[in-house]
Amino acid sequence: MKAIVFREGSQWAVEDVPTPEPGPGEVRLQILRTGVCGTDEHLLHGGFIATLPLIPGHEMLGRVDAIGDGVDSRLLGSTVAVDNTIHCGECEPCLSGRHLFCENFVSLGCNAPGGFAEYTVVRAAKTFVVDDLDPVASTFAEPTACAMHGADVLALRPASDVLIFGAGPTGLILAQLLKASGAARVVVAAPTASKLELAESLGVDVTVQVDRTDPTGAEAELRALAPRGFDAVVEATGSISVLESAVRLTATGGTVLVYGLAAEDARAAISPYEIFSRELTLKGSFAQAFTMRRAIDVLRSGAVRTDGIITDTVGFDDFGRALANLHDSSQIKTVFVP
Ligand SMILES: [Zn+2]
Ligand SMILES: [Zn+2]
């Protein structure tokens, strides 16, 4: 079969690789669509938890075309979204019920083969049938599950005033999810006007355009919207200056959620005194964990909408554009279709 393969030295190519066969408890998926994510670029450069060479692609939607021993044959032919995580169940964190921190954590598409390929093999128990759901919405099952975990970590108080930095796929999904989770107001701040318009059409209350050359102007505008700060501020860009701004814009007693993926060696200047004296809480959220079912339910309900978020579709021949799109501010989400 054909697959995209990331190799050492930030190299990638379309390669012919053996078509995988499902083992006991596994199913083989014929990939229908796999979302391209900013994480993929970090992986290309050996960042995050990359194990190279790698077939990337962690936001998979596929049709079950073969099953291994012990798998219910009714799954054959179903369209499924995939929880791409595997926890060993035997390490100390797993045995303490903290599977997300599994010491042998496997994330298909990050440190094991994923979905930028014609076929992939996943555990049957980690598939979620979405035959009834629109394929566009289904493509967002995994990123919505990640956002759901972020919402769980944030644990908003009802009627909170929330600011989200970033209007990428994650920011747009989190904004809707937090609105549906009882936020009184959700403000989204980002540089690109078209993304902010989309945010408004998806139900975001207020949007603020950030001028990349003068971010302090946006901070003043946000300060004017919430003079005492926001109860919760979500950093969904991975930018250091944005995180620093997020801390300043968080209300006393409030929470900052670090959701964006920054470089591993990046450092931010944050005042310990401010965290101490204003009793700020800093939280992180890095992956989805046991949230796929709820993610699919919230997509099915329409409380989280995805129309307008996919801005480009690529295949094997033009996969390079998927990576280029990650740097094109007019693009939001690219989907790979083999
Ligand atoms: Zn992702
Ligand atoms: Zn484990």
Whole-number Å distance, alpha carbon 286 to ligand 2 midpoint, is 16
Among 5-14, 80-89, 145-154, 212-221, the range scoring the smallest mean pLDDT is 212-221
Whole-number Å distance, alpha carbon 315 to ligand 2 midpoint, is 35
pLDDT value, residue 94: 96
Q: Which two tokens stand for residue 84?
A: 């791409």
Whole-number Å distance, alpha carbon 243 to ligand 2 midpoint, is 31
* DSSP secondary structure letters along 267-324: -----HHHHHHTT-EEEE--S--S-HHHHHHHHHHTSS--TTTEEEEE-STTHHHHHH
Whole-number Å distance, alpha carbon 221 to ligand 1 midpoint, is 30
Long-range contacts made by residues 295-299, C-beta under 8 angstroms, separation at least 24?
295/141, 295/142, 295/144, 295/145, 295/147, 295/148, 296/81, 296/128, 296/130, 296/133, 296/138, 296/141, 296/144, 298/144, 298/148, 298/177, 298/180, 299/133, 299/137, 299/138, 299/140, 299/141, 299/144
CB atoms within 10 A of CB 276: 9
> Coil, helix or strand for 167?
coil
User: Partners of 79 in the beta sheet?
Assistant: 63
**In which residue are the tokens 């959700």 written?**
186
Domain span(s) for CATH 3.90.180.10 in the chain: 2-140+306-336
State the ligand closest to the CA atom of 90.
Answer: 2
Among 172-181, 194-203, 208-217, 266-275, the range scoring the smallest mean pLDDT is 208-217
Rounded to whole angstroms, the Cα distance separating 275 from 273 reads: 5
Q: What's at 307, amino acid-wise?
A: D
2-140+306-336, which class in CATH? alpha beta
pLDDT value, residue 185: 98
Q: At what angle do helices 292-301 and 141-154 cross, to 10 degrees?
A: 110
State the ligand closest to the CA atom of 34.
Answer: 1
Among 29-33, 260-264, 281-285, the range scoring the smallest mean pLDDT is 260-264
Yes or no: say if 139 and 36 are a contact pair by the CB < 8 Å rule: no
**In which residue are the tokens 């989770």 written?**
181
CA 111 to chain centre: 16
Whole-number Å distance, alpha carbon 139 to ligand 1 midpoint, is 11
State the ligand closest to the CA atom of 103.
Answer: 2
Of 197, 61, 204, nearest to 136 by C-alpha is: 61
CB atoms within 10 A of CB 290: 15
Of 151, 203, 145, 206, nearest to 172 by C-alpha is: 203
pLDDT value, residue 48: 85
The per-residue pLDDT for range 36-48, each reduced to its tens digit, is 999 999 999 998 8
Say whether pLDDT at 31 is over 90: yes
Domain span(s) for CATH 3.40.50.720 in the chain: 145-284
Among 57-66, 71-80, 171-180, 254-263, the range scoring the smallest mean pLDDT is 254-263
Fold classified for 145-284? Rossmann fold (3.40.50)
The number of C-alpha atoms within 13 Å of 265 and in the hemisphere containing its C-beta is 1
Beta-carbon contacts of residue 37 (< 8 Å; ≥ 6 apart): 58, 59, 143, 169
Q: Which helix (H) or strand (E) holds 154?
A: helix 141-154
- Per-residue pLDDT band at 190 (split at 50, 70, 90): very high
Whole-number Å distance, alpha carbon 84 to ligand 2 midpoint, is 15
Q: What does the pLDDT average to over 248-270?
A: 93
Rounded to whole angstroms, the Cα distance separating 252 from 227 reads: 11
State the ligand closest to the CA atom of 59.
Answer: 1
**In which residue are the tokens 């005042």 written?**
271
Q: What does the pLDDT average to over 52-75?
A: 97
Whole-number Å distance, alpha carbon 39 to ligand 1 midpoint, is 6
Beta-carbon contacts of residue 171 (< 8 Å; ≥ 6 apart): 164, 165, 188, 190, 199, 234, 236, 237
CB atoms within 10 A of CB 218: 21
